[in-house]
């Protein structure tokens, strides 16, 4: 019998993307799709792309009860929600893959600083593994509970990780984010007339994902690093692009950077190194990752400007959320890492 999986927060953008991937995954069966607002409605009423792929309906049964009947429970709720019930969820014995921010940070103090909230169950933080397989596959394989990284953080961390040891002062991440990054719930800022065509500086400093980027890159470097980020809303529906500036007095040559990236990602099926000498697409661009679990990473040097640049691009709903979560599930359950994730990006899109 296949393991049963359920999605709590199934009516959201991330929930919908989880369903797209899980419904065709050969080794699991989708059992419950939790939504308070759409209970008893077919899932395709909210996610029209799923029409004719499933007869499942949303349910508003208690999430803890759903978890108790599921081998794996995916949570795709706004931050601050899953941590309210996680103690009871874990007591059911289900495995958990949480796509919100509630279990990504190891130090409860960081939640006060970055999320302005007191974590309700700080003792549970250590029960979760940060779910970035390219860094922590060996931990994910032995884990029962996974905290899936944020979408911008995934792009920034993957592009920066091979260069972590090069950070001397402050690495500065410049992030461009598509509109689906802020979820499916409309707001004045996401209203079409206001959002269409913008290049809006929406978080010049203090973006919450900075905390996890610092946490993970510091682990790789072996000491606390300074990282700062500015985030911009741009005219895409899906997609994240990050350009990280690393000031350096000691600029390596390009061959050395190739060597470092190739070595770092030699066992990473979903990371593509993009740095061509010519053509229109020499560096990572989210346009060529859409619909897939690929994260594209690249680099450049600026000798006169005394900096090294790291580029990242991905689909925020796939490698930035649901695809990465399924990749973690595969590792955790002993499935092939790539199972159910063979989607080639769309082109043109
Ligand atoms: N969007 C992205 O690119 C992205 C990427 C990585 C991670 N994430 C994270 O994933 C999570 C979900 O994001 P999203 O973009 O899918 O958001 P979304 O489209 O707004 O969906 C949120 C979901 O949570 C449910 N929900 C909202 N408030 C709730 C509450 N108080 N109790 C129970 N259910 C509640 C909603 O369902 P009902 O109202 O129907 O019950 C809906 O299904 C967030 O933590 C987000 O930060 C998002």
Peptide bond just before 63 cis, omega within 30 deg? no
Residue 163 resides in a domain: yes
The pLDDT assigned to 164 comes to: 98
Residue 280 resides in a domain: yes
The pLDDT assigned to 76 comes to: 98
pLDDT in tens, 40-58: 999 999 999 999 999 999 9
The pLDDT assigned to 82 comes to: 98
Query: What residues does ligand 1 touch, defined as CB less than 6 Å away?
Result: 9-15, 35-38, 76-79, 81, 99-101, 150-151, 180-181, 183-185, 316-317, 320-321
Across the chain, mean pLDDT equals: 97
Residue 32 resides in a domain: yes
Q: Name the residue with the closest Cα to ligand 1, atom 36.
A: 9
Specify whether 275 is located in the same domain as 181.
Answer: yes
Identify the bridge partners of residue 247 per DSSP, sorted by sequence position.
307
Categorize the per-residue pLDDT at 322 as very low, low, confident or very high, splitting at 50, 70 and 90: very high
Specify whether 220 is located in the same domain as 298.
Answer: yes
Residue 35 resides in a domain: yes
pLDDT in tens, 246-278: 999 999 999 999 999 999 999 999 999 999 999
Ligand 1 atom with the smallest distance to the CA of 101 is 45
The pLDDT assigned to 34 comes to: 98
Give the rounded percent of residues in the chain with a pLDDT score beyond 70. Answer: 100
Residue 16 resides in a domain: yes
> What integer is the mean pLDDT of 155-176?
97
How far is the centre of ligand 1, averaged over its atoms, from the C-alpha of 127 (Å)? Answer: 22
The pLDDT assigned to 132 comes to: 98
Residue 58 resides in a domain: yes
> What integer is the mean pLDDT of 192-218?
97
Q: Name the residue with the closest Cα to ligand 1, atom 2.
A: 181
Specify whether 13 is located in the same domain as 99.
Answer: yes
Q: Name the residue with the closest Cα to ligand 1, atom 1.
A: 181
Specify whether 186 is located in the same domain as 115.
Answer: no
How far is the centre of ligand 1, averaged over its atoms, from the C-alpha of 177 (Å)? Answer: 17
> What integer is the mean pLDDT of 144-156?
98
> What is the rounded CA–CA span in Å between residue 258 and residue 264?
10
Specify whether 111 is located in the same domain as 176.
Answer: no
What's the per-residue H, E or C state across the chain?
Answer: CCCEEEEECCCCHHHHHHHHHHCCCCCCEEEEEECCCCCCCEHHHCCHHHCCCCCCEEECCCHHHHHHCCCEEEECCCCCCHHHHHHHHHHCCCEEEECCCCCCCCCHHHHHHHHCCCCCCHHHHHHCEECCHHHHHHHHHCCCEEECCCHHHHHHHHHHHHHHHHCCCEEEEEEEECHHHHCCCCCCCCCHHHHCCCCEEEECCCCCHHHHHHHHHHHHHCCCCEEEEEEEECCCCCCEEEEEEEECCCCCCHHHHHHHHHHHCCCCCCEEECCCCCCCCCCCCHHHCCCCCCEEEEEEEECCCCEEEEEEEECCCHHHHHHHHHHHHHHHHCCCCCCCCCCCCCCCC
Give the rounded percent of residues in the chain with a pLDDT score beyond 90. Answer: 100
Categorize the per-residue pLDDT at 130 as very low, low, confident or very high, splitting at 50, 70 and 90: very high
> What integer is the mean pLDDT of 21-36?
98
CATH number at residue 92: 3.40.50.720
300-313 burial, b for 16+ CB within 10 Å, e for fewer? Answer: ebeeeeebbbbbbb
Pocket test for ligand 1, best of 89, 183, 208 (most atoms within 8 A of CB): 183
> What integer is the mean pLDDT of 298-322?
98
Specify whether 177 is located in the same domain as 290.
Answer: yes
Specify whether 297 is located in the same domain as 209.
Answer: yes
How far is the centre of ligand 1, averaged over its atoms, from the C-alpha of 88 (Å)? Answer: 20
pLDDT in tens, 84-112: 999 999 999 999 999 999 999 999 999 99
Contact predicate 149/322, CB 8 Å: no
> What integer is the mean pLDDT of 321-330?
98
Q: Name the residue with the closest Cα to ligand 1, atom 4.
A: 181
> What integer is the mean pLDDT of 325-346?
98
pLDDT in tens, 228-237: 999 999 999 9
Structural domain range at position 13: 4-127
CATH number at residue 293: 3.30.360.10
The pLDDT assigned to 143 comes to: 98
Ligand 1 atom with the smallest distance to the CA of 38 is 40
The pLDDT assigned to 331 comes to: 98
The pLDDT assigned to 221 comes to: 97
> What is the rounded CA–CA span in Å between residue 240 and residue 243?
10
Q: How many domains does the chain have?
A: 2
Specify whether 116 is located in the same domain as 251.
Answer: no
Specify whether 101 is located in the same domain as 161.
Answer: no
Read off φ and ψ for residue 116, nearest 5 degrees.
55, 35
Q: Which residues are catalytic?
A: 151
> What is the rounded CA–CA span in Å between residue 43 and residue 54?
8
The pLDDT assigned to 263 comes to: 98
> What is the rounded CA–CA span in Å between residue 149 and residue 321?
7
pTM (two decimals):
0.98
Specify whether 173 is located in the same domain as 299.
Answer: yes
Specify whether 8 is located in the same domain as 114.
Answer: yes
Residue 224 resides in a domain: yes
Q: Residue 260 half-sphere exposure, CB side, CA atoms within 13 Å?
A: 20
Specify whether 159 is located in the same domain as 303.
Answer: yes
pLDDT in tens, 111-129: 999 999 999 999 999 999 9
Ligand 1 atom with the smallest distance to the CA of 63 is 33
Report residue 299 as tokens.
């680099």
Q: Residue 57 half-sphere exposure, CB side, CA atoms within 13 Å?
A: 7
Nearest C-alpha neighbor of 115 from the set 341, 125, 338, 32: 125
Residue 196 resides in a domain: yes
């Amino acid at each position: 019998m296949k393991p049963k999986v359920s999605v709590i927060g199934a009516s959201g953008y991330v929930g919908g993307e989880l369903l797209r991937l899980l419904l065709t995954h050969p080794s699991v069966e989708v059992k419950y799709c939790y939504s308070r607002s759409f209970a008893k409605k077919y899932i395709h009423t909210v996610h029209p792309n799923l029409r004719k792929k499933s007869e499942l309906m949303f349910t508003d049964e208690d999430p803890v009860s759903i978890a108790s009947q599921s081998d794996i429970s995916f949570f795709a709720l706004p931050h601050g929600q899953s941590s309210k019930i996680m103690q009871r969820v874990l007591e059911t014995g289900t495995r958990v893959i949480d796509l919100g921010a509630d279990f990504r940070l190891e130090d409860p103090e960081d939640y006060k600083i970055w999320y302005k909230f007191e974590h309700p169950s700080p003792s549970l933080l250590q029960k979760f593994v940060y779910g970035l397989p390219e860094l922590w596959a060996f931990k994910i394989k032995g884990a029962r509970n996974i905290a899936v990284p944020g979408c911008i953080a995934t792009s920034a961390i993957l592009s920066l990780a091979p260069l972590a040891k090069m950070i001397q002062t402050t690495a500065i991440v410049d992030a461009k984010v598509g509109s689906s990054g802020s979820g499916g719930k409309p707001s004045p800022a996401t209203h079409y007339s206001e959002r269409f065509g913008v290049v809006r500086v929406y978080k010049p400093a203090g973006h919450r994902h900075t905390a996890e980027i610092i946490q993970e890159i510091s682990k790789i470097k072996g000491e606390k690093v300074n990282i700062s980020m500015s985030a911009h809303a741009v005219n895409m529906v899906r997609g994240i692009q990050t350009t990280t500036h690393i000031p350096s007095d000691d600029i390596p040559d390009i061959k050395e950077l190739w060597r470092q990236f190739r070595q770092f990602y030699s066992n990473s099926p979903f990371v593509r190194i993009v740095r061509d000498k010519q053509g229109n697409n020499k560096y990572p661009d989210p346009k060529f990752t859409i619909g897939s679990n690929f994260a594209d990473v690249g680099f450049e040097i600026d000798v006169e400007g005394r900096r090294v640049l790291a580029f990242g691009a991905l689909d925020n709903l796939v490698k930035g959320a649901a695809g990465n979560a399924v990749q973690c599930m595969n590792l955790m359950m002993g499935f092939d890492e790539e199972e159910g994730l063979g989607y080639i990006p769309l082109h043109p899109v």
